[in-house]
Structure 1
């Protein structure tokens, strides 16, 4: 490799590191899956592998970004939260609510049913699928489009939950 090429690739790698630090620091603060850039159905093994990969990328000794240490700490906290069974259980309950597993409000599944109620393409796919409409919806839930909608809904549910928690905490602290 020519010296100019190696310098170029070193700069590209540094830009990738900087971009990853920024992505981590700007990730939705209440969701450790987003901090680690993982799907919500990630296994503990996938969490471990992704943490290792990202931590090597943004490690303060390897990355010159001024906030690399903060990003590295955020990754560590996210991994710790996902490895804690009790916290993971609470997080999964919130994510299930956002997905629509609890039957509460207009979650992603309910919104999808409403949107596609009169969709001819979905109706045709349901007649052709061996499991009917249920099978079509299960297939849709494996797509990136579903996961992106689920992520946005989860942000909303988590933010509302955190707001309620802080409001209750403030009420309890204030003598009345």
Structure 2
């Protein structure tokens, strides 16, 4: 009886060790998968139905969830898995990814000067090349997107500075107009004083020049 219990304990320990090994292997696979390819992260082929995406995410998430393993990289892997599922469940994002994958396939066909019915297209070797070409296409697309975003932000910055400069110019104009209006009475009084002083000077000159009777 004691031997049976020992055997059960050993088997349980082996099962646990095997389970942890599978979890660690899957976490490593996810973290090493190409970050811009959601299909690669979820270990799915392009074109799968939505139900397969949901089922695969559930299987993978149950395996590597941070609450189910002590692996310190589990949170990062789970986060990446969740984001990949979000991309594939978003119609526009998935369509954009599918277009990049299709572009990669056509680029390879052109480079090899094949026709679309070439039997090599269904080989494992081509699948590997296709995935590698997909990486290059996705990287190019990402760089192009970042460049456009940078240019857009620069343009928005120029527009913002232009608006701010126009606002500052209008502000200075208003302040100048207010200052001009506030000194209006002072300018009038100064002109009156100047005029009165001039009249007095002219009057004095006239008296000096007048003949003595």
| TM-score bracket for the superposition, by shorter chain length | 0.7 to 0.9
Q: Partner residue of 1:108?
A: 108
**What is residue 161 of structure 1 aligned with on the other side?**
141
Partner of 2:50: 44
Output the CA distance in 2 between the equivalents of 1:38 and 1:112.
26
Which has the higher mean CA deviation after the structures are superposed, 59-68 or 153-162? 59-68
Deviates more, 1:40-49 or 1:151-160: 40-49
List per-residue Cα deviations over 1:87-114 (Å, max 9, x = no partner).
11111111111110xxxxxx22223436
Task: From the two aligned structures, give the one with the greater helix fraction.
Answer: 2
Paired residue total: 150
Q: How far, CA to CA, are the matches of 1:83 and 1:6 in structure 2? A: 38
- The runs of 5 or more residues in structure 2 that have no matched partner are 1-6, 159-213
The ranges of structure 1 where at least 4 consecutive aligned residues each deviate by more than 6 angstroms after the TM superposition are none
Q: Is the 8 A contact 1:39 1:147 kept in 2?
A: no
SS at match of 2:145: helix
Q: Using structure 2 for the length normalisation, give the TM-score.
A: 0.63
Work out the CA distance in 2 between the residues paired with 1:90 and 1:15: 35
Q: Distance in 2 between matches of 1:79 and 1:171?
A: 30
For CA contacts below 8 A with separation 6 or more, give which structure has more relative contact order.
1
Q: Which range moved further: 155-164 or 44-53?
A: 44-53
Superposition TM-score, scaled by structure 1 size = 0.75
The structure having more radius of gyration, on CA atoms, is 2
Matches within 5 A, 1:1-176: 2-100=8-106, 107-113=107-113, 135=117, 137=118, 139-174=119-154, 175=157
CA offset at residue 43 of structure 1?
Answer: 2.3
Q: Over aligned residues, Cα RMSD in angstroms?
A: 2.0
User: How far apart are residue 57 of structure 1 and its match?
Assistant: 0.8
**Structure 1 unmatched ranges of 5 or more:** 101-106, 115-132
What is the alpha-carbon distance in structure 1 between the residues aligned to residue 123 and residue 58 of structure 2?
25
